[in-house]
Amino acid sequence: MLNACSKKDKESAGGEDDPGKIIPEIPFDQLPASSTSLTVDGNTRYVNVMGNQRKQLPEFANLQAKSNKVRGYVKDTYGRPVKNASIGVRSSVVGGVSTPAYGVTNDKGYYEFEVPFGVAEFYNTGVAVDFEGNRAALGLYPADGELSTWSGPSGAVENFVLLPYGQGDPAELATEAWIPNNYFGGNMTLGWEIWDATYSPDGLPLGSKFTIKLTPLSLFHAAEKKTFIIVKTVGNMHQSMEIVNLPLGKYKVEVSAPAGDAYLVETFFNPREGQYGLTPKTGTRHTPSYIHVTIPRTGNGNEVLPYRGDWQEVAVDVKKYSS
Return the pLDDT at 233: 94
Question: Are 79 and 226 found together in one domain?
Answer: no
Domain end (from 162, 181, 196)? 162
Residue 177 identity (one-letter amino acid): A
Q: Is residue 258 part of a domain?
A: yes
Return the pLDDT at 296: 86
Q: Is the pTM of this model over 0.85?
A: yes
Return the pLDDT at 1: 46
Return the pLDDT at 5: 38
Judge residue 105's burial from the number of C-beta atoms within 10 Å of its C-beta, 0-12 exposed, 13-18 middle, 19 or more buried. buried
What's the CA gap between 49 and 37, in Å, rounded? Answer: 9
Return the pLDDT at 248: 95
Q: Into how many domains does the chain fold?
A: 2
Question: Are 146 and 185 found together in one domain?
Answer: no
Question: Are 197 and 213 found together in one domain?
Answer: yes
Q: Which domain holds residue 37?
A: 33-53+170-320
Question: Are 210 and 282 found together in one domain?
Answer: yes
Question: Are 215 and 302 found together in one domain?
Answer: yes
Q: How far apart are the first and last CA of the chain?
A: 60
Q: Is residue 191 part of a domain?
A: yes
Report the CATH number that the domain containing residue 70 is assigned in CATH: 2.60.40
Question: Are 83 and 175 found together in one domain?
Answer: no
What's the CA gap between 211 and 256, in Å, rounded? Answer: 5
Question: Are 191 and 281 found together in one domain?
Answer: yes
Return the pLDDT at 281: 67
Question: Are 47 and 174 found together in one domain?
Answer: yes
| Closest CA relative to residue 138, chosen from 179, 102, 84 | 84
Return the pLDDT at 16: 62
Q: Is residue 17 part of a domain?
A: no
Question: Are 197 and 211 found together in one domain?
Answer: yes
Domain end (from 116, 133, 162)? 162
Q: Which helix (H) or strand (E) holds 255?
A: strand 249-256
Question: Are 47 and 66 found together in one domain?
Answer: no
Q: Is residue 6 part of a domain?
A: no
Question: Are 190 and 301 found together in one domain?
Answer: yes
Question: Are 130 and 203 found together in one domain?
Answer: no
pLDDT per residue of the chain (323 residues) written in tens, 0 to 9: 454 333 343 444 445 666 678 999 999 999 999 999 999 999 999 999 999 999 999 999 999 999 999 999 999 999 999 999 999 999 998 767 889 999 999 999 999 999 999 999 999 999 999 998 889 999 999 999 999 899 988 999 999 999 999 999 999 999 999 999 999 999 989 899 999 999 998 888 899 998 899 999 999 999 999 999 999 999 988 999 999 999 999 998 888 887 666 677 777 666 666 777 776 666 655 555 677 788 888 889 999 999 999 888 888 888 877 65
